[in-house]
């Protein structure tokens, strides 16, 4: 264990005077602070198994060193994050990049770190060694039934893997689509995909959810068979009440109003989960909140408002996951930053005066409405997030502690400098 409670306690003691001062000011000015703190303590964000190593682009990949070589080491890395912030209490696995050979042992190891398993992710966007049929021209949409059957069977197998781990949801992201006009009959592609999804859906246990993730473009550039939230919602509605739309923040066309998408999906009871990241142009998979933290806040505002309107449990009723790629930063530092950004945006959204905003909206008081939102957004809530961490036994300042302890250097010493995380 690279991070234990003694290290964290000593770190917190060093920062306690300064923190107490900052938090006292926040507590004095924020109404209902205790309720907010409890919500923050309960809120957990799943870390994807594929984000623990250095990512790359199609031009290259630059090794970071000390990357997890096995699923066990990936779980240790998430355990480390969770020890530092107590907000990363779950891991989202990608199959077949991370196939547990002994699920019971993996489950035990995760439990030792206080981790559960969030959605399992299937992969029909690349061919695996020994695979009979190629996904070059799609998987569930494919013109050849044998390819479609293979893709369905893979998803059914992923569900079985998930059951063994105690997961309760499957995320299906399809790269299916076309690169050129005329390549595909859109209606046939949709129908084939729907039939495949129906077969997968039939294999879901009663208490499971299925998330249908959409993406506007890439790897296919002319059409995507699940290209936007409307298409995902179509599939989800046809599939049934265990099927939901999953919103990945990077999977929209530029300037899409994600806030509005979220609000409407929530109203339709079809928002299932989130993949957090940030982007400047497309699916950039950058650190959450690094480019447009105001948009992240506005999304959280719609989430909180929409979930409260339906008396939903913020922590449990939606799947909260990060989906990012760390190309130039230490993946663990990057993930600490992402979780922090999510917690800050969530806290700010909890500060919005919902009643006053409704009044302003009913009176067409546009200026007042903007003031109400920005009042919450411009509140410095960092000490509130830190206090929630402190109360759950985590570090007041996770990233500085990660550096003070030279965690990456220790990981390099144990794992070596030239490791590559599985799947990357
Ligand atoms: Mn995603």
CA atoms within 13 A on the CB side of 135: 24
CA-based nearest residue to 199, from 134, 140, 121, 139: 140
Q: Per CATH, is 45-78+87-340 categorized as 3.20.20.150?
A: yes
Alpha-carbon span 47 to 63, nearest angstrom: 20
Distance in Å, CA 118 to ligand 1 centroid: 14
Q: Where are the domains of the chain?
A: 45-78+87-340
Q: Is 201 helix (H, G, I), strand (E, B) or coil?
A: helix
CA of 250 to the centre of ligand 1 (A): 8
Mean pLDDT of the chain: 97
Q: How far is the CA of 149 from the centre of ligand 1 (A)?
A: 24
Q: Is the pLDDT of residue 53 over 90?
A: yes
- Ligand 1 centroid to 56 CA: how many Å? 16
Contact 262, 275 (CB under 8 A): no
Distance 387 CA to ligand 1 centre (A): 30
Please give the pLDDT value at position 1. Answer: 63
3-state percent breakdown (helix, strand, coil) of the chain, nearest 5: 50, 10, 40
Please compute Rg for the chain using Cα positions: 22
How far, in Å, is the centroid of ligand 1 from the Cα of 390?
A: 31
Core vs surface per residue 108-142: b (16+ CB within 10 A) or e: ebbeebbbbbbbbbbbbeeeeeeeeeebebbbbbb
Does 241 have pLDDT greater than 80? yes
- Ligand 1 center to 274 CA (angstroms): 8
**423 has a pLDDT exceeding 80:** no
pLDDT mean over 67-79:
96
Pairing of strands 177-178, 223-224: antiparallel
Rounded mean pLDDT of 205-217? 98
User: Is the pTM of the predicted complex or chain greater than 0.95?
Assistant: yes
pLDDT tens column, 280-323: 999 999 999 999 999 999 999 999 999 999 999 999 999 999 99
Could you tell me the distance, in angstroms and rounded to a whole number, from the CA of residue 343 to the centre of ligand 1?
Answer: 19
Distance 171 CA to ligand 1 centre (A): 9
Whether residue 422 is predicted with pLDDT greater than 80 in this model: the reply is no
CA 92 to chain centre: 8
Query: How many Cα neighbours within 13 Å face the side chain of 41?
Result: 13
Distance (angstroms) between ligand 1 centre and the Cα of 105 equals: 27
Report whether pLDDT(418) > 90: no
Q: Which of 93, 156, 154 is nearest to 128 (CA)?
A: 154
Cis peptide before 96 (omega within 30 of 0): yes
Mean pLDDT lowest for which of 52-56, 202-206, 253-257, 336-340? 52-56
CB 213 within 8 A of CB 232: yes
Alpha-carbon distance of 51 to 75, in angstroms, equals 12
pLDDT tens profile 365-407:
999 999 999 999 999 999 999 999 999 999 999 999 999 999 9
Tell me if residue 118 falls in helix, strand or coil.
coil
Percent of the chain's residues with pLDDT above 70: 99
Burial track 215-229 (b if 16+ CB lie within 10 A, e otherwise): bbbeebeebbbbbbb
Number of DSSP helices (H) and strands (E) in the chain, helices first: 15, 11
- The predicted pLDDT at position 58 comes to 87
Please give the pLDDT value at position 2: 80
Say how many Å lie between the CA of residue 45 and the centre of ligand 1: 14
Tokens linked to 417: 């400098």
pLDDT of 356 above 90: yes
Instruction: Using pLDDT thresholds of 50, 70 and 90, give the confidence band for residue 92.
Output: very high
| Alpha carbon of 32 to ligand 1 centroid (Å) | 34
């Amino acid at each position: 264990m690279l991070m234990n409670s003694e290290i964290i306690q000593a770190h917190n003691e060093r920062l306690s005077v300064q923190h107490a001062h900052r938090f006292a000011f926040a507590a004095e000015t924020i109404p209902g602070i205790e309720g907010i703190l409890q919500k923050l303590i309960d809120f957990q964000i799943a870390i994807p198994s594929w984000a623990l190593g250095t990512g790359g682009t199609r031009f290259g990949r630059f090794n970071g060193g000390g990357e997890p070589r096995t699923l066990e080491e990936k779980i240790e890395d998430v355990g480390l994050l969770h020890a530092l912030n107590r907000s990363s209490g779950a891991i989202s696995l990608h199959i077949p990049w991370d196939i547990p050979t002994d699920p019971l042992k993996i489950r035990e190891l995760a439990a030792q770190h206080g981790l559960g398993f969030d959605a399992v992710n299937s992969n029909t966007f690349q061919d695996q060694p020994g695979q009979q049929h190629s996904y070059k021209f799609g998987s569930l949409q494919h013109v050849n039934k044998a390819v479609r059957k293979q893709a369905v069977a893979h998803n059914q197998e992923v569900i079985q893997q998930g059951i063994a781990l105690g997961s309760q949801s499957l995320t299906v992201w399809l790269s299916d689509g076309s690169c050129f006009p005329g390549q595909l009959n859109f209606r046939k592609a949709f129908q084939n995909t729907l039939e495949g999804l129906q077969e997968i859906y039939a294999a879901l246990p009663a208490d499971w959810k299925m998330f249908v993730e959409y993406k506007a473009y890439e790897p296919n550039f002319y059409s995507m068979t699940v290209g936007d939230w409307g298409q995902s919602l179509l599939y989800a509605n046809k599939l049934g009440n265990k099927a939901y739309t999953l919103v990945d923040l990077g999977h929209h066309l530029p300037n899409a109003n994600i806030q509005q998408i979220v609000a409407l999906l929530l109203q339709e009871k079809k928002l299932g989960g989130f993949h957090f990241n940030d982007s400047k142009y497309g699916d950039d998979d950058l650190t959450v909140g690094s480019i447009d933290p105001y948009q992240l806040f506005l999304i959280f505002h719609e989430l909180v408002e929409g979930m409260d309107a339906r008396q939903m449990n913020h922590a449990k009723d939606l799947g909260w996951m990060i989906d990012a790629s760390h190309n130039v930063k230490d993946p663990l530092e990057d993930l600490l930053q992402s979780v922090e950004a999510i917690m800050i945006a969530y806290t700010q959204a909890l500060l919005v005066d919902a009643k006053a905003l409704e009044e302003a909206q009913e009176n067409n008081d546009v200026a007042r409405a903007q003031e109400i939102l920005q009042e919450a957004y411009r509140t410095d809530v960092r000490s509130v997030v830190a206090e929630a961490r402190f109360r759950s036994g985590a570090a007041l300042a996770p990233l500085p502690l990660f550096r003070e302890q030279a965690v990456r250097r220790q990981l390099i010493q144990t794992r070596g400098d030239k490791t590559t995380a599985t799947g990357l």
